[in-house]
Amino acid sequence: MYKIAHAYYEDDLTQQDIGKRFGLSRIKVGRLLKQAQHEKIVRIILREPKNSDEIELEHRIEDKYKVDEVILVSASDDNQIVLQKIGIATAIYLNRTLHGNEVIGLTWGGSVLAVVNALPDKNWPDMKVVQLLGGLGSPEADMYGTQLTVRAAQSFGAKPRLISSPGILPTEELCKALSKDHQVADTLKLGSKADVAIAGLGRPTQTSPIIRAGILTTDELDDLNRLGAVGDIGLRFINAEGQPINHELDRRIIGLTLEQYQTIPRLIGVAGGPDKFEVVRAALLGNYINVLITDLEIGKRLLV
């Protein structure tokens, strides 16, 4: 047991290499390593990092809201700095968890833009990056779905799948007709089966991009606020308890539904800044996201 433990912990050999070296099966090596711990031949000591308080906070949020992982970045009065930190943290998370053969879905917004800006270059030709919401605003705008999907695919060395449609149609009838288009329907079907999705959590205000770019009218914003909307996931609006908002706008959107977002195995919600607390909490209460990457101040408020 000592020889096997030394080879594993000190020489950094794999269990398979150790098995070949000592003439044992990999399963037998694993059992002997566990026995070595049981008999105190091996003692594993965890040393707390300097940011142990933040890690404990992350664990408490995970337990309270039943999510797989929470990552908190330090807060700042400068929202762009917060977004940059969230983008870097998300890129590190993706680099740690992706294998290169997944279907990755993207929504839109400043937080998702920060993630795409931070992505490392990979060579994953078996990966697909899918746009989950039709085009919004100017085609040249860097925070909207088409550009983000293309750029993310380029960083991953992957294949992009784009939605050839506006995100919001003027009428429900036109939306229904366009949803039946072969290319649009196939792309949304692929997006609904994504392994991982990165979703910006939006907040409808007079200063948010959806108003400044003319994506929503002020009357529509007033209606959403009157109905209790605190934010959106891919332009699907929810109230403070995470319940869907029933508004006619919902029937004019080309994109995944809230129910489809809930079926994605790993939906990463990204958002930061003081105005995003309510939508972050609502997304957690509605069980839409199972990984949250946000700032420390929002993290603290989630436990109050």
DSSP for 159-219, please give it: EEE---SBSB-SSHHHHHHHHTSHHHHHHHHHHHT-SEEEEEEE---TTSHHHHTTSS-HH
Same-domain pairing of 119 and 17 = no
CATH number for the domain spanning 239: value is 3.40.50.1360
On whether the CB atoms of residues 192 and 260 are closer than 8 A, the answer is yes
Same-domain pairing of 22 and 161 = no
For residue 139, what pLDDT is reported?
56
46 in a domain, yes or no? no
43 in a domain, yes or no? no
Residue 20 in 3-state DSSP?
helix
Same-domain pairing of 67 and 14 = no
Q: What is the DSSP string of 226-245?
A: HTT--EEETTEEE-TTSPBP
For residue 141, what pLDDT is reported?
55
What residues make up the domain containing 280?
52-301
Tell me how many domains the chain contains.
Answer: 2
pTM exceeds 0.85, yes or no: no
Same-domain pairing of 60 and 187 = yes
Residue 50 in 3-state DSSP?
coil
Mean pLDDT of 187-198: 97
Same-domain pairing of 30 and 56 = no
- pLDDT more than 90, % of the chain: 78
Residue 290 in 3-state DSSP?
coil
Place of tokens 């991009």: 209
Dihedral over Cα of 205, 210, 214, 219: its sign: negative
33 in a domain, yes or no? yes
Give me 171's structure tokens.
């009428």
DSSP 8-state secondary structure symbol assigned to residue 11 = S
Same-domain pairing of 170 and 78 = yes
Same-domain pairing of 71 and 118 = yes
CA torsion, ordered 12, 15, 18, 19, to nearest 10 deg: -170
Give me 79's structure tokens.
């929202």
7 Cβ partners below 8 Å, 6+ apart? 13, 17, 18, 21
Dihedral over Cα of 141, 284, 204, 176: its sign: positive
144 in a domain, yes or no? yes
Same-domain pairing of 254 and 181 = yes
Same-domain pairing of 30 and 168 = no
Quickly state the pLDDT bin for 137 (edges 50, 70, 90): low
295 in a domain, yes or no? yes
Q: Name the average pLDDT for the chain.
A: 92
Q: What is the pLDDT of residues 100-121, one digit of tens each?
A: 999 999 999 899 999 999 999 9
Residue 302 in 3-state DSSP?
coil
For residue 136, what pLDDT is reported?
79
DSSP 8-state secondary structure symbol assigned to residue 121 = P
47 in a domain, yes or no? no
45 in a domain, yes or no? no
User: Which residue type occupies 199?
Assistant: A
On whether the CB atoms of residues 227 and 241 are closer than 8 A, the answer is no
44 in a domain, yes or no? no
In whole angstroms, what is the distance from residue 214 CA to residue 77 CA? 27
Same-domain pairing of 244 and 131 = yes
Same-domain pairing of 174 and 271 = yes
Same-domain pairing of 156 and 77 = yes
128-131 and 159-161: which strand pairing? parallel
Place of tokens 């996201």: 289
Q: What is the pLDDT of residues 46-101, one digit of tens each?
A: 665 656 788 899 999 999 999 999 999 998 889 899 999 999 999 999 999 999 99
